[in-house]
Structure 1
């Protein structure tokens, strides 16, 4: 056992816990509204936040293999999550573009098609890519002090294709939809602005709907692809290993490597990659809540839930009952 050496401990654990909890709050009414892309993204960010939270607590001061079953399961889920987050943000922007560019509300058939598309892209594709990752999985997992157990990759040309190309491709597609969405939003906003007779209505649309969507698309456009490219550059900088055979890659599969924090922090590139990976995945949960859990519609849901809770606890009574008395 070692004392925690992370200078930001336990702040990362706190962030991860909120990343797990906060996306679950707006998830219910997004399910009711058939916002499948947002729901998948919230679910994945919540799961990733939970995994990061548990890992940061369990391995805060040790590199012992104390939870092999947890590591086997969590690393596979985390692998799928690394694909699902950029794909989920792409689907969110795609849906925003469809809504912003449509002259009428999406029909039930269009929403059903969007649900099928989002399910394939945000759930099935990440699971398939996570399964294919076994091709370049040289060990079951590796344990880093302060970070926990994460996937171990045999860096080769095949690893670059399986690991780095899917996020870059989804980031480029997202950038295309980002530009189209922003163009449609500004055009749609101008039409709404011309149709409003009241300045208050115009202000409400600007502050509660227009600005959060624009900020989300801009943030998504400037973050997804650069992060994916930086991960590709890191793998190149660390050097590629030759692909000799399947047996060579998986020869030491059962051996669990460990790395104390002073070892992996001694390499600036590795430390930057590990820190960026865990902070970005945990930050996504808080970001998605700020954009979709603080709108006027969300505040209405909070008010209704708070009123029902007060009634359930006997702290409040309906207005009609009070008038009768």
Structure 2
């Protein structure tokens, strides 16, 4: 399997690039952050697996410094971004304003950068090199490493799954009201597309649960060799030394090797999940056809006259800041009150369109 690692990482780069391209134009920070962390880590994984295929030589030291920090950032960046996305989904079911941009930025960007910086506290030397895997972060496995590197990522993953579950529960509670409202107006499915909403909720839950599982399994193996963090000088005494920091596959204990593979594969597998749920939907297919038509020269470019969005309808709010893309507001309560369900029961459906593009 070691020789197959590049053929896993580079296709994952392609897979995650597609939803990143499709979603970037909507400015949804959590989605962009998830795809970006996955993309950068897959690129680093692919290059490392080629450079260190069949060897554990010391080379490209500055590249290793960069990619090991990138891995630390990705290990927390993906779960934290998934949590931000889960909070957005949860806010939809509560019919609240979107999550504050500062909170999103804190989870998606600031928290990973902070953890990347704090890693130095438990970084006994610059990096490790494993045959076929390449550069890996050096971690002084101790109680501080649990609180700095592991608990934040695990907590974000668990919270993401919890908020997704709460979102589904809230949605299920209002299904009857949703059905009655569709009977009032045959175009109610423009108000909330259940399949798109549930698709996004599903991928958020899966990524959160998957990240929590990987963290729990891989860290449990590492903590069997828990060390005592004494003083800064003692922990960092051999920071510039690479003695004992290079490992061939035969050097890795058979009990540890499966967890090393699982940790490496977690990023490509997360990329497959993201692609399957966010790049294979009906709306994504429409985008593909649009761009394919433009490339072939058989039609107009996306966004021009033929493919341009329809003009705003009366009652639309052009300034509404929806988290998924364009939003249309229209009130279905203009229908006679005799046939309209109670406003408080239908509060989350009556005046908001959620479009999950693509």
- TM-score between both structures, scaled by the size of structure 2: 0.76
Kindly indicate whether residue 294 of structure 2 is the aligned counterpart of residue 308 of structure 1. Answer: yes
Which secondary structure does the structure 2 equivalent of 1:9 belong to?
A: helix
Between the aligned partners of 1:146 and 1:233, the Cα distance in structure 2 is: 23
3-state DSSP of counterpart to 2:89: helix
The CA deviation at 1:250 is: 0.9
State the shift of 1:137 in Å.
0.3
Match of 1:235 among 222, 237, 245: 222
Query: Partner of 1:9 in structure 2?
Result: 3
Looking at structure 1, the residues matched to 176 and 57 of structure 2 have their Cα atoms a distance apart, in angstroms, of 59
1:259 to 243, 247, 270: 247
What secondary structure does 1:119 align onto? helix
CA drift of 1:164 comes to: 1.4
Name the counterpart of 1:91: 84
Specify whether residues 213 and 66 from structure 1 end up closer, same or farther in structure 2 by C-alpha distance, changes over 3 A only. same
Instruction: Report the equivalent of 1:226.
Output: 213
Q: Which runs of 5+ in 2 are unaligned?
A: 301-358
Mapped contact 1:41–1:84 kept (Cα < 8 A): yes
1:13 is displaced (CA, Å) by: 1.8
CA separation of 1:187/1:36 partners in 2, compared to 1, >3 Å: closer, same or farther? farther
Query: 1:209 & 1:75 partners in 2: Cα distance?
Result: 36
Q: 22, 30, 36: which one pairs with 1:37?
A: 30
**Contact 2:82–2:160 (8 Å) recurs in 1:** yes
SS at match of 2:264: helix
- Taking the TM superposition and a 5 Å limit, the aligned residue runs for 1:1-325 are 7=1, 9-10=3-4, 12-102=5-95, 110-111=97-98, 114-196=100-182, 205=193, 208-237=195-224, 239-256=225-242, 257-264=245-252, 266-268=253-255, 270-311=256-297, 316=298
Cα distance in 2 for residues equivalent to 1:8 and 1:68: 22
Structure 1 residues 190 and 305: alpha-carbon distance in aligned structure 2, compared to 1, 3 A threshold? farther
Distance 1:122 1:72 in 2: 22
State the Cα deviation string for residues 169-219 of structure 1 (Å, max 9, x = none).
Answer: 2123223212211112323554434433569x69x955x425423532442
Query: Retained in 2: the 8 A contact 1:23–1:289?
Result: yes
Give the whole-Å Cα distance in 1 for the aligned partners of 2:26 and 2:123. 39
TM-score relative to the length of structure 1: 0.83
Contact 1:101 1:185 in 2 (8 A): no
Q: Deviations over 1:76-131 (max 9, x none)?
A: 111111110111111111111112332xxx7xxx45x5432221111111111111
For residues 89 and 9 of structure 1, the distance between their equivalents in structure 2, rounded to whole angstroms, comes to: 31
**1:54-81 CA deviation, whole Å, 9 max, x = no partner?**
1111111111122111101111111111
Task: Flag the 1:190–1:40 CA change in 2: closer, same or farther, 3 A.
Answer: farther
The structure richer in helix per residue is: 1
Cross-structure match for 1:321: none
Q: Is the 8 A contact 1:18 1:285 kept in 2?
A: no
Greater RCO (CA < 8 Å, at least 6 residues apart) = 1
Q: Unaligned regions of 5+ residues in structure 1, if any?
A: 1-6, 319-325
**Does structure 1 retain, via aligned residues, the 8 Å contact 2:34–2:77?**
yes
SS in 1 for 2:3: coil
